[in-house]
Amino acid sequence: MRIHIKGGTLIDPAEGTQVAGDLFIADERIAGVRSAPAGFQADRAIDAAGLMVCPGLVELSARLREPGFEYKATLESEMQAAVAGGVTSLACPPDTDPPLDEPGLVEMLKFRARSLKQARVYPLGALTQGLKGERLTEMAELHDAGCIGYGQADAPIANSLVLSRALQYATTFGFCVWLRPQDPSLAHGGVAHDGQVSTRLGLPGVPVSAETIALSTILILAQETSARIHLCRLSSAAGLELVRRAKQEGMPVTCDVAVAHVHLSEIDLGFFDSNCNLIPPLRSLRDRDALRQGLAEGTIDAICSDHTPVDDDAKQRPFAEAEPGATGLELLLPLTLKWAQEARVPLPVALRKVTSEPLRILGLPGGRLRPGEVADLCLFDAQARWKVEPAALFSQGKNTPFLGYELPGRVRYTLVGGAIVFER
């Protein structure tokens, strides 16, 4: 289908440009930017007046809950949530049930996702069998099945030797290893940042050292093995400093932050709001401000939502018994816009964190508004404000610390491969 997107504002985050203009789509790709290709006849015109037109969002961590956790959410509902949030590509962590440690499981997931004809799904394979941190998975086979990286999700690798070998093996093939730095013994039993809020609320804490000690281990081993690593969900100022130094030394390391940590801190736990039970925990205001600084200066490459839908029963429990996680695919864009407004970051630069940078981390092309590029697009009204309520979300997970917030940014159209997969 040939589509003429008229009268919008074109944002190319990688170029850093924001210019009024039309966009022309044909054969799944961008056929023309600002001027129509010769002889172009649109089958459909989209009136994009007042809308921003940018490359589709790329989510680095979305739990689709299949296979295994279908009572929490289904592929259908979460993929719908993705495109409702303007997400056109997403990576999902390997902690399904069973974990993605077998090529067959990966193929099935990719097949199921493809048949929905919505966002592109890039599974992360398990780094160790069963995520147990003991035996390596068949990374090469998993790669052939479609995995773009390997990780442990939130399962720890307590044994440094195993971690070292896993990194070495991945390096053999040039694979990227995704790791969330958390020392399992220091974090054991903790459900909140070990600070003044956890002391007052009487909640077991996870100290910052759980992150920095694990980061040190990972960075040293990565350096020794020359591995390519992506660090997931930084949460502390001290952790960020370690990453900053590693980057300054030229290590091939990238990192992301979950969008909740860009905005919230331990104070938001309030009176035991279990929607704020997250992994890693929300830390102090100082940590939050350091993360925002890290984003602005580029030490933090990308923002993700860490989308983790949880059923209501699992959240309506005493804080420490509640299941951690927040739904987020539909909030990634609004919360990124909110950060951009507050931090006075120009919109194209801010959107890099959720478009071109995640693509770079995933090792995928795209993310630009240029003729020939695949037409994965998000058209949104940056001025529209909407209230975050359960009824407003497509995701089956209604668990978010941002319930009741009024946020900017409403997605109106999402296109994947030139096809309109969502419109509002």
Q: Enumerate residues 364-403 that contact other proteins by CB under 8 A.
A: none
Residue listed under structure tokens 């974990």? 99
What is the nearest approach in angstroms of other proteins to the Cβ of residue 73? 19
35 binds other proteins (CB under 8 A): no
Residue listed under structure tokens 């999902």? 92
Candidate residues 135, 245, 317, 370; the one interacting with other proteins per rule CB under 8 A: 317
Peptide bond into 324 cis (omega under 30): no
The pattern of x and - marking residues 204 through 243 that bind other proteins according to CB under 8 A reads -x-x------------------------------------
Q: In terms of Cα–Cα distance, which of 177, 150, 168 is closest to 95?
A: 150
Q: Give the whole-angstrom CA distance, residue 351 versus residue 295.
A: 12
Q: In terms of Cα–Cα distance, which of 123, 119, 90 is closest to 419?
A: 119
Q: In terms of Cα–Cα distance, which of 48, 44, 43, 188 is closest to 34?
A: 48
349 binds other proteins (CB under 8 A): no
196 binds other proteins (CB under 8 A): yes
405 binds other proteins (CB under 8 A): no
Tell me the CA end-to-end span of the chain in Å, nearest whole number. Answer: 19
CA-derived radius of gyration, the chain: 21
Candidate residues 34, 114, 200, 424; the one interacting with other proteins per rule CB under 8 A: 200
CB 256 within 8 A of CB 307: no
202 binds other proteins (CB under 8 A): yes
What is the nearest approach in angstroms of other proteins to the Cβ of residue 225? 32
CB atoms within 10 A of CB 162: 17
Candidate residues 116, 201, 364, 384; the one interacting with other proteins per rule CB under 8 A: 201
320 binds other proteins (CB under 8 A): yes
DSSP state of 62: B
* Piece in contact with other proteins (CB under 8 A), picked from 108-116, 131-139, 176-184, 196-204: 196-204
* Piece in contact with other proteins (CB under 8 A), picked from 107-115, 209-217, 226-234, 268-276: 268-276
Q: Give the whole-angstrom CA distance, residue 51 versus residue 47.
A: 9
Going from the C-alpha of 224 to that of each of 79, 100, 218, 344, the distances in angstroms are 39, 27, 10, 39
* Piece in contact with other proteins (CB under 8 A), picked from 116-124, 271-279, 293-301, 352-360: 271-279
Q: Give the whole-angstrom CA distance, residue 11 versus residue 351.
A: 9
Q: Give the whole-angstrom CA distance, residue 392 versus residue 56.
A: 21
What is the nearest approach in angstroms of other proteins to the Cβ of residue 354? 28
Cβ closest to other proteins, residue 170 vs residue 269 = 269
Candidate residues 115, 248, 271, 344; the one interacting with other proteins per rule CB under 8 A: 271
Alpha helices (runs of H) in 226-381, residue ranges in sequence order:
237-248, 259-263, 285-297, 312-315, 332-343, 347-352, 356-362
Candidate residues 15, 107, 141, 273; the one interacting with other proteins per rule CB under 8 A: 273
Q: How many residues bind other proteins (CB under 8 A)?
A: 23
Annotated catalytic residue, options 12, 22, 287, 306: 306
* Piece in contact with other proteins (CB under 8 A), picked from 7-15, 134-142, 195-203, 325-333: 195-203
301 tagged catalytic: no
Cβ closest to other proteins, residue 225 vs residue 274 = 274
* Piece in contact with other proteins (CB under 8 A), picked from 85-93, 143-151, 172-180, 270-278: 270-278
316 binds other proteins (CB under 8 A): yes
Q: In terms of Cα–Cα distance, which of 274, 101, 96, 285 is closest to 192?
A: 274
Task: Just list the catalytic residues.
Answer: 306
Residues of this chain that bind other proteins (CB under 8 A): 194-196, 198-203, 205, 207, 270-274, 313, 316-321
